[in-house]
Every structure is written in C-alpha cells, then in structure tokens.
A = this chain, B = another copy of it.
C-alpha cells in the first residue's frame, strides 16, 4: 500500500494525497476529509525512505557507544529522549568489539546516511581516528568523553582531572598516607587523566604514589586487584577506584578480607551510579551527570545538523564530590 493506491481509491492524483498527508494547503476541504478517511481506514503510513531519498535527510542519528558501563543506561536514555523530542530516530552501535568491527559499523552508519553521529568513547585507535575525521567531512560528529586534538570535531567532556584531584585531596586531608589507586584501562583517555590527577596530588604532598594497578572498569577487576594488593600491603588505608563498579568490587573484596569500611579502609569511586547509594556502606564517589552529558551532546549534534555549523566547540561538564559512608 502506497500513496498511489490511496490516490486510485480516491480518484485523485498522488500530489493531492501527499498534500493531505503533510497537511499542506491547496486541497478542497471536502476532498481532504474524504482522502483522510481512506488513509485512516487503510492504516496507511507514508514510506519515509522515499521521502528521505528526496530530501537527502534520514532523520536518524547514529550513536556509537560501549555498552559495558553501568551508567550507559542514563546516557542512552537522555539521547533517545532528546531525539524523540526532535523527531530523530536513533541507530545504535555497540563499540565494544574489535577495532575492525567498529570501523565497519561507523561506515555502515554513514552508508545508511544518518544525519549525524554521536560517538561515546574515549578509546580511539589510529584507524578509528582517521575514519572519524574522514566521515566528519561528510556528516557532523559529536564526541563524548574524548577530544581529538588537531581536529574540528566538537566534544562534550567531563573534567576528569579536577574530579579526580578533588577526591584525592579529600583522602589526603582525611589523613590517608598509603593509598591504592585502581585505574581504568591505559587506552582510555579519561582514565589516564584521572590517574594523572591522583599521582600529581600525591607527589605534591610528598606521598608515595607507586601503588597503582590497572583494572578493566569491571566489578571483577576491582575485586581481584583490591583483594590481592591489600593482602600484600596491610598498611593501605584508602582505595580510590576510577569507576563505581570497580569500587563496589573492591568493597566486596575488603569485606571478604574481614576488614571494615571505612574504619579500616576507606573506598571512593567515580561516576555515582544509582547503586552507589544503595550498597552498604553507601559509596563516596565523584558524581558525573550522565543524563546531562547525553542530553547536552545530543542537543549539540542536532543543533549542528540543523544549522550546519557548530557554535560551540567544546562543552565541559561539572563534577561533584559526594561523600557518603565509605570514607572517613
């Protein structure tokens, strides 16, 4: 069933049907009513693909994001909500696999002629970077969690460094002198900034900053690293994790070692996922406004799509240190 069929049923031309569907002027009110009736009776919905071909717009945006983090729900909710409000569809790709797959996925989004791409990630291999720059010549891209130097691609980033600095300073103020830092993967742009802030603060205070391990942002890696390191170094009094999942893993490990939190060891995370406020002890953490990040990024992208021009090159998001029960 297409507009032609409706037109034949109504004894008019497709142009007229088109005008009725799009509520455009130039149709006799009586005729309009009749045609609308036939459309409704047949449950006809116009083929957007044909429309897209003509307008060279798909009214879809591509979203590339790693679906592993606990907070990704918040972000994708923001994206879908903003898109729905602006009548954009959301084409999702999980960039959790091999570089090659991701590249294919990005090109596939381009072939599907999405109007823009939202790229959530702070991993960026050489090939990927090149591909993004290449595609950005044809369609707008907004990066989240990452900035690409020598490029004009706008981005939304958190102040990873200062968030991490504040948390570290807090621990030092509280008197901790032997700290374990569980970082994210070394290929992660944001993870490296957080780690740097940690070591900078420790060095500045003349404290040993050698107790750093690299985790995978997962519950399990937090658990394993915390257990192992604390068993070997019984003078550790604080653990700072680069995300909440690892912090929750670390808490489980510390409890399994029959130590108390925060009496024996303080734990602090990063993200403030919903769960952080419901585990016991409630997790102190650095809050990121995940919903806001998704929202701002999507709004920026849509603005660029509509106005062909990025007014803003970079959006910095706030952080907030949330002290709950897991630190003292």
A316 within 8 A of B: no
CB of A200 to closest CB in B, whole Å: 30
Please tell me which stretch of A12-20, A39-47, A117-125 contacts chain B, meaning at least 4 of its Cβ atoms lie within 8 angstroms of it.
Answer: A39-47
Residues of B within 8 A of A93 (CB): 80, 84, 90
Binary flags per residue of A62-106, CB closer than 8 Å to B gives 1, else 0: 000001101011001100110010010111111011000100010
How distant is the Cα of A89 from the Cα of B109 in the complex, in angstroms? 8
Contact B49 A58 (CB under 8 A): yes
Using CB atoms, name the residue of chain B closest to A73: B67
Contacts of A249 in B (CB 8 A): 278
Given that A73-B72, A91-B60 are contacting pairs, would A248 and B279 also be in contact in the complex, using a CB cutoff of 8 Å?
yes
Q: Given that A90-B92, A223-B278, A278-B249 are known contacts, is A110 also in contact with B45, CB under 8 Å in the complex?
A: yes
> CB of A280 within 8 A of chain B?
yes
Cβ contact within 8 Å between A248 and B219: no
How far is it, in angstroms, between the C-alpha of A91 and the C-alpha of B87 when the chains are bound?
A: 13
A113 contacts the other chain (Cβ, under 8 Å)? yes
Is A22 close to B, CB under 8 A?
A: no
* Docked complex Cα distance between A172 and B275 (Å): 30
Chain B residue with Cβ nearest A256: B280
Answer yes or no: A151 CB below 8 A from chain B CBs. Answer: no
Residues of B within 8 A of A143 (CB): none
Task: Give the docked Cα–Cα distance between A50 and B58 (Å).
Answer: 11
A187 within 8 Å of B (CB atoms): no
A sample of 9 inter-chain contacts (CB < 8 A) reads A46-B111, A48-B111, A49-B49, A49-B113, A67-B73, A68-B73, A81-B94, A89-B108, A90-B92
Q: Can you add 5 more A-B contacts, CB < 8 Å, to A84-B93, A89-B112?
A: A67-B73, A77-B96, A89-B91, A219-B275, A255-B280
Sort A-B residue pairs by CB-CB distance and give the 3 closest, nearest first.
A80-B94, A219-B278, A48-B111
